[in-house]
Amino acid sequence: MQDTRPAAFVWLVWALVCVADVHALTPTLATITLRRSPLSDVVGIILHTHFQQPYSTTLVMVRSQTEDGRRSLHDLVSLLLMDYVRGQLVIQFEGAHDANQSWQRPWSHILLLAEGYDALRLVYGQLTLKLYDFAGYYLIVLVGIDTTLATIDRIFNDLWQRQIVNVIVAFRMPPPANSVQLWTYFPYSPGLCRVPKPHLVLTWPNDTLLYGVNFFPRKNANFHGCPLKVGTFETRPFTILTGTPGLGLGLSGFEGDLLDSIAAKLRFSVNLRIPPHSQQWGVAAFENSTGMMRMIYSEEVDFGIGCLGVSSERSAMLKPGKVHFTTELVVVVPPGRPYTPIEKLFQPYSPLLWGAIFSYLGLGILAIITSQRRPLLRRYLIGRGVHAPSLNILRLLFGNPLPRTPTGNFPRTLLVFWVQLCFVLQIAYQGSLFKFLQRASRHPPMATLADIDRSGAHYHITESARRFFEPFPINLAAFGTSHPAQTVSLRGYAGSVPTRTTRMLPCAPGTMWRTTTGQIVAGCG
């Protein structure tokens, strides 16, 4: 037998060495755990209170220009991960494999760690609407000790140019103060319109209250009487223009009253602007937009109101808000086609019942044919002296008498059953046919878009309703053509074909819109 005592001795020595290494590393691990600072405390609290959202991932961006700054930022990240995040917050570092994939939704929770202002400026070129939601939460942490209030003011001016307002800037005060200040800004304040005014949120640990602080207050709750340019045009009854362009315009109607209520609640004055050349809503095509869409996209107006609705083109440029009015798309369809004589004949019974009747006839005829070459079986099923039994089955089905009845008991029993069945079928058929002849002699009109597709009808559609069908290229290919018998019209088209109005496909005109730059549109066009 082989001796295993030397191997056991080696394992014992290895275990002792591992225990000694763990005890040697314990002070280092404890030192890392205890390196908490006011900056890490306040950043950790903000991450837990505002960034820990369902189905939301926080993007972490790190920028530095010196080796000391890079080391300080990495220590802060390690401290946040070990002592604050601890698996309760889903984060993703910039540069990960799928951080900027085409399918990735714009980032709405961003933690930006920078050494100073110069390092922070390196991020500005990457802040695009395609990758980042400018209405999201931004937490900027500066670890350098050279940050001053002038630096904070420059940062807020840079962010306001990009219309990023939900932002907190945290930085450490220069020595000997061992405190952290958190700043945000308000673009509208008493006496200042569109000017970012810094606002001190918290000084930690001088301020003892930390969890009850609203780190991201609303910035659009009060405009302090500042004038806002409003794009609009007349589209009754939603918006009705009053007054004259030279002497001052007013707005009434459903959305005119809505505008007055919003202006009174948010405390801003209204300066109405009308799209040139009567373009009204216009086309949403980014730099090639027209009408109201161009005015909003180019920031000629702060927001627009004028019966605007949801569309894929506007969603690419604007961010939809809450719906304040919902209606239905009205589709005018032709009446159903007339029933053919064959359809009228078979209409009283359902296809299942007709299938059962023809199945019984087929079984009877099959039994008669089978008994032709077997006299004994024929005598048992049909009886003696009966000629043309197949014709007799059809005679009874249509209510005609038989020229001669069978003589056997079993054939007479089958005859009684068949007569009773035919009698019930005839009575039910006549009653159903009487009710059917009292109804319309046409098929029901098309009630859904699927019915329209199956019918092969063509569309006459207004430009405002076209966007509801653009996600369906097969349907869109039929637009602009005509067919004399089958034509589907949408509201705004008058045709000579007798039509019937069918309500379907709910849409949401009168939708509040918010652009990706923070502007607001209201509306249904």
Nearest partner of 67 among 141, 119, 126, judged by Cα: 119
The ranges assigned to domains in the chain are: 38-97+104-204, 225-316, 341-438
Q: What share of the chain is helix, strand, coil (3-state, %, to 5)?
A: 40, 25, 40
Length of the chain: 525
pLDDT at 470 (0 to 100): 63
Q: Distance (Å, rounded) from C-alpha 509 to C-alpha 325? A: 6
3-state SS, 274-292, equals CCHHHCCCCCCCHHHCCHH
- Which has more pLDDT, 77 or 388? 77
Q: How many C-beta neighbours within 10 Å does residue 517 have? A: 17
pLDDT at 479 (0 to 100): 56
What is the mean pLDDT of the segment spanning 281-288? Answer: 87
Q: Distance (Å, rounded) from C-alpha 466 to C-alpha 281? A: 14
Q: How many C-beta neighbours within 10 Å does residue 334 have? A: 20
What is the mean pLDDT of the segment spanning 185-203? Answer: 94
The residues that bridge with 113 in the sheet, in sequence order, are 62, 141
The pLDDT confidence band at residue 267, using thresholds 50, 70 and 90, is: very high
Residue 304 pLDDT greater than 80, yes or no: yes
Residue 457 pLDDT greater than 60, yes or no: yes
The pLDDT confidence band at residue 7, using thresholds 50, 70 and 90, is: very low
Residue 199 pLDDT greater than 80, yes or no: yes
**Segments in 53-148 forming alpha helices (H):** 67-80, 117-124
What is the mean pLDDT of the segment spanning 15-35? Answer: 39
Q: How many CA atoms does the CB half-sphere of 239 hold within 13 Å?
A: 26
Query: Mean pLDDT for the chain?
Result: 77
**DSSP letter at 36?**
-
Range picked from 24-33, 257-266, 303-312 for highest mean pLDDT: 257-266
What is the mean pLDDT of the segment spanning 328-336? Answer: 78
Instruction: Give the angle 306-273-465 at the CA atoms, nearest 5°.
Output: 25
What is the mean pLDDT of the segment spanning 417-421? Answer: 85
Residue 101 pLDDT greater than 80, yes or no: no
Query: Domain 38-97+104-204, what architecture?
Result: 3-Layer(aba) Sandwich (3.40)
Residue 245 pLDDT greater than 90, yes or no: no
Q: Distance (Å, rounded) from C-alpha 254 to C-alpha 236? A: 9
For residue 206 the two structure tokens come to: 């001088």
Lowest mean pLDDT among 174-188, 261-275, 299-313: 299-313
Instruction: Give the angle 205-167-511 at the CA atoms, nearest 5°.
Output: 140
CATH superfamily of 225-316: Periplasmic binding protein-like II (3.40.190.10)
- Which has more pLDDT, 134 or 508? 134
Q: How many C-beta neighbours within 10 Å does residue 128 have? A: 11
For residue 151 the two structure tokens come to: 């630096």
Lowest mean pLDDT among 23-27, 440-444, 484-488, 493-497: 493-497
